[in-house]
Amino acid sequence: MDFIEKNVPLWKEFYSIKLNIMKAVTETSFQFPKQNSKYVGKVRDVYYIDDNYLVMFASDRISAFDVVLPKGIPYKGQILNQIAAKFLDQTADIIPNWKLSTPSPSATIGLLCEPFKVEMVIRGYLSGHAWREYASGKREICGVSLPDGLVKNQRLPEAIITPTTKANEGHDMDISRTEIIAQGIVSEEDYKQLEDYTQALYARGTELASKQGLILVDTKYEFGKRDGTIYLMDEIHTPDSSRYFYEEGYDELVKAGKDPKQLSKEFVREWLMNNGFSGQEGEEVPLMTDEIIQHISARYIELYEQILGEKFQPLDLSEEETEIKITEALTKLSKLI
């Protein structure tokens, strides 16, 4: 079935948004008081303030297979930032997190932490990368053994943690608990705490997703330390860091060997692979037409509305307006902390 035709009702509804006002924000050039430096990641611009705070701006850039695609997706940054902000608030009783303020739809101000150099990936279902590894014949992923006879997208007996290295550039790599500790990437004591936090956060995320008729299939968390305390960092339970299935029809589709309807970035990866791109050297990203871009934006809006249970309200702020709002918030925080 054609990439666009998979979601015809949503696609038609999306045209109610005035497409002529849609503009992807793919770069920023803010200058904040006491700004030390700026880091441009795959999809976020991070501004370091006074060696104490950071401003994380969620751009509309999109990446897949660790490659930033040539065109941005309108409203993607707003969607990711707002979902993450809500879930950070809803998990603050489990672990302290870096978030201090969300002064604009696409920006969060938070505490500067020293990040652990691993990403904690947790999987409750055999999907995505884990399924591709399993289907290739592997029965051990990141040191976790899996039995024969599993099928694509089935629920695992228990959620498994499959960490990856946190690469500054290039691909993140699978790594096992044993290797992380043996190489001194994370101490055994800290890693045990990261595992406990990861399991607890995934349990909460699963509970919250179920209330909206969704299954949290897998997700990843990033952690850091500040003054000896472990903090949850970055985004949480967004479509860029997580995969969701709809609960309705899940069992029947898996039994029939079909893919459950899902909300995640996996459909972007599948579109790329179907068009000859999987991030390998020498491959070219397929043409991203306006229709494809608008459809991807619609899918992000769909996830926002499904997981938060509220209508997405797009907000188009100029860079100048955004900079003023963030600066005002930084000024208030500096007086309070």
| Mean per-residue pLDDT, 271-276 | 92
With 50 as the cut, is the pLDDT of residue 17 above it?
Answer: no
Asked whether 10 and 305 are in contact (CB, 8 A), the reply is no
Tokens of 178: 């044993």
**Tokens 């579109």, located at residue:** 271
Tokens of 240: 């860029």
Asked whether 166 and 115 are in contact (CB, 8 A), the reply is yes
Q: In this predicted structure, what is the pLDDT of residue 76?
A: 94
| Mean per-residue pLDDT, 194-212 | 97
Q: In this predicted structure, what is the pLDDT of residue 220?
A: 97
| Mean per-residue pLDDT, 159-179 | 85
With 80 as the cut, is the pLDDT of residue 12 above it?
Answer: no
Asked whether 59 and 73 are in contact (CB, 8 A), the reply is no
With 90 as the cut, is the pLDDT of residue 10 above it?
Answer: no
> Using one digit for the tens of pLDDT, what is the confidence trace for 277-323?
998 989 999 999 988 998 889 888 988 999 999 999 988 888 899 99
Average pLDDT, the chain: 90
Report all structural domains of the chain as residue ranges with CATH numbers, in order of start. 5-113+289-336 (3.30.200.20), 118-252 (3.30.470.20)
Confidence of residue 3 (pLDDT cuts 50, 70, 90): very low
Q: What is the share, in percent, of the chain residues with pLDDT greater than 90? A: 77
Helices (H) and strands (E) in the chain, counts: 9, 17
Q: In this predicted structure, what is the pLDDT of residue 215?
A: 97
Whole-model pTM: value is 0.87
Tokens of 97: 């997190």
Which residues are within 8 A (CB) of 138 and not within 5 positions of it... i.e. 6 or more apart?
A: none
> Using one digit for the tens of pLDDT, what is the confidence trace for 102-153?
999 999 999 999 999 999 999 999 998 999 999 999 999 999 999 999 999 9
Asked whether 264 and 244 are in contact (CB, 8 A), the reply is yes
| Mean per-residue pLDDT, 263-274 | 85
| Three-class secondary structure of residue 286 per DSSP | coil
Q: In this predicted structure, what is the pLDDT of residue 14?
A: 45
| Mean per-residue pLDDT, 70-83 | 95
Burial string for 270-290 (b: 16+ CB within 10 Å, else e) reads ebbeeeebeeeeeeebeebee
> Using one digit for the tens of pLDDT, what is the confidence trace for 229-264?
999 999 999 988 999 999 999 999 999 999 998 877
